[in-house]
Structures are given as structure tokens and as C-alpha cells.
Amino acid sequence: MYSRITGTGSYLPEKVVTNADLEKTVDTTDEWIRARTGIERRHIAADDQCTSDLAVHAARLAMTAAGVQPEDIDLIVVGTTSPDLVFPNVGCLVQERLGIRGCPAFSIEAACSGFIYALTTADRFVVTGQAKCALVIGAETLSRIVDWSDRSTCVIFGDGSGAVVIQPSEEPGIISCHLGADGRYKDLLCTPSGPSKKPTADQPRDPFITMKGNEVFKVAVKTLESIVRKTLAENNMDGSEIDWLIPHQANNRIIQALSKRLKMPIEKVILTVQEQGNTSAASVPLALDVAVRDGRGQRGDLLLLGAFGGGFTWGSVLLRY
């Protein structure tokens, strides 16, 4: 038994912040942002929108694409690092909004790898027969934990959501999932405050993302390369067999370096970072939905999803769409 994606959906908030907009608020230029990141614009949630609102939009579209009703959903897993509340978790908030009753609903915190962790978890439920119709979402409002006066981070992040429905299938489907983490890198990319950590005189409350960008960059390229190689090797496959590589959309330079190292032509890589910025756990399902809806991702295509994020965490999912 396999699980298979039967529908995808995504959502970007209406408000767009361009590089030119950021030139007016911090010491940066459109040229610097494009050259260093490839990002041209990002979408930012409205003041009255939370992560669950974004998640619900993407979930509805994925459910429509899969042709399933709220009563069919028997598992909800959300990857997010920017939940509306400490609790209830975003899965429960989405469940309530969609009129789904009784099924397990939870979120997974794995920064930008959150959707890959969520999809891997939901796949286990489906292949073991514990779920027959799972809603898997990546959704973020990282704009709420970005310091908009810090040019080194505010140019990078954006808000959004992506979702898939997975259901049992005798044919693959999800072929293999690979997850990893290394907490020794916890300080390179983090939000140093949280509900349990008491501020001290030395370490006052700091609710914003901090990042040693160039150090993260190097580990991100190496780790993404190694997770892709491992996924291919464990499935006795060659990169040329992959129809579409769908990497976490952190930075165009990371993706270009990855495509070069793997000798996978950039034409075979889905790129959305220019339009969306880094939407963390939402970026992979957003890129997947873009590819499906613009016709690049066809039924039967072999897709390799890969992500890397704070923790550090990383993961990949190889699947036949």
C-alpha cells in the first residue's frame, strides 16, 4: 500500500511587498536583493489574517482538486513555525474552520522542513491503514516574527500556504521519505524567544528571526545536495530520471548551486522564490501547486521534494505524482 497525492492547493495573501517598497524602509536595494537571493517580491498576511486563515484557503483548494468533502478527511497535519496561538495547534483551528469532526489534528514544528516532516508523518498513517484521507498543509506568517528594521532578514521572508490531500493507492504514490536534523546548528538560524524561555538581563526577550545567513547558506547547499543524493541512491535512481526537483525556496543562489552540483538542469527545477520569497514550511507545497496548476507537473511524473531549515532540519520526499 502507498499513499498518493490526489489534490493540491495553495494561497498567497493579497498584499505584495516589492523590493522597491523595502528600499524605502531599510538600507537595501532591489539590485542587492535580486543578486543575492533572486527575490523580487513577497506576499504579506493582512493584519487580521493568521497562519490558520492561510492554511484554510490552501486546504479548501486541495480538497476541491481531490474531490473530497470535510467528512472524508480523517487526519490533519500542519507544518508551521508561526502558529496562531501556543495552543490549540493550527491543525485543530483548521479542522474547526473546515467543519471536520473528530479526526486527529496536529502541527509539526520543523521550520522550513515542516511540510516534508508533515507529509512523511501523514504518509505513515496512510500506509499503515490508520488514515484514508489526510490533509497535509504547510502554512506560515513569518512576517510576524521578522524584524522589519533588520535588512539581513526582512528582505528574505514571505507569507503563504500550500496543501495536499493524500489517499491510499496500490500504485506509488509516495515512494520514499527521508528526514534528518542536527541541533548543534540551533543558533545559526532561530527565533530566540518562546513561551517557556524566561528572559534575563543578558538575554532579553527577542521575538524576531536571527540568522547567520552566509553560514546557513553553506550548510543548506551541502545538506540539500546530500539528501537528494541519498534519496536517489536508496531508490537506485539517477538524477536524470527525476521529472521535477521541487526544493525549498530559500534563495535562488542555493537552488542554482544545487542544480549545478547535482547536474540537474535548472529547467527541471521549480522556482517560485522570485515571486514569493522564503515562505518556510509553505514553500514546497506552494511550488508543487504552482507546477501542477501551470501544467508542468503531470500525472505520472517523478517528483523529488527537498527542504532545509532552522534546527537544522532537512528532508526529502520522492513521489510519483
Q: Which residues form the catalytic set?
A: 112, 248, 278
Select 33 or 61, whichever has its Cβ closest to ligand ACO. 33
Q: Let me know if 238 is exposed, middle or buried by CB neighbors in 10 A (0-12, 13-18, 19+).
A: exposed
- Least Cβ distance, residue 277 to ligand ACO (angstroms): 10
Q: Let me know if 120 is exposed, middle or buried by CB neighbors in 10 A (0-12, 13-18, 19+).
A: buried
Run of H or E including 15: strand 15-18
* Contact status, residue 58 vs residue 9, Cβ threshold 8 Å: yes
- C-alpha 33/C-alpha 172 separation (Å) is 40
- Which residues ranging from 194 to 233 are in contact with ligand ACO (CB under 6 A)? 213-214, 216-217, 220
Q: CB under 6 A: which stretch of 29-37, 65-73, 126-134, 239-247 binds ligand ACO?
A: 29-37
Q: Which of 7, 83, 277, 310 binds ligand ACO (CB under 6 A)?
A: 310
- Least Cβ distance, residue 104 to ligand ACO (angstroms): 26
Select 101 or 186, whichever has its Cβ closest to ligand ACO. 186
- Least Cβ distance, residue 194 to ligand ACO (angstroms): 15
Select 155 or 262, whichever has its Cβ closest to ligand ACO. 155
> Which residue is associated with the grid cell 503563504?
160
* Contact status, residue 291 vs residue 297, Cβ threshold 8 Å: yes
What are the start-end ranges of the H helices in the chain? Answer: 19-23, 30-37, 51-66, 90-98, 114-127, 151-154, 213-234, 252-261, 273-276, 283-293
Q: Per-residue x/- mask for ligand ACO, residues 263 to 282, rule CB under 6 A?
A: ---------------x-x--
* Contact status, residue 84 vs residue 143, Cβ threshold 8 Å: no
Q: Kindly state the number of chain residues that form the binding site for ligand ACO, as judged by CB under 6 A.
A: 24
- Least Cβ distance, residue 311 to ligand ACO (angstroms): 8
Select 156 or 318, whichever has its Cβ closest to ligand ACO. 156
Select 166 or 220, whichever has its Cβ closest to ligand ACO. 220
- Which residues ranging from 108 to 127 are in contact with ligand ACO (CB under 6 A)? 111-112
**273: number of Cβ within 10 Å:** 26
Q: Is the peptide bond before 306 cis (omega within 30 degrees of 0)?
A: no
According to the binding rule CB under 6 A, does residue 252 interact with ligand ACO?
Answer: no
Residue whose C-alpha is closest to residue 163's, from 51, 320, 71, 48 = 51
Name the residues that contact ligand ACO, by CB under 6 A: 28, 32-33, 36-37, 111-112, 151-152, 155-156, 189, 213-214, 216-217, 220, 250-251, 254, 278, 280, 309-310
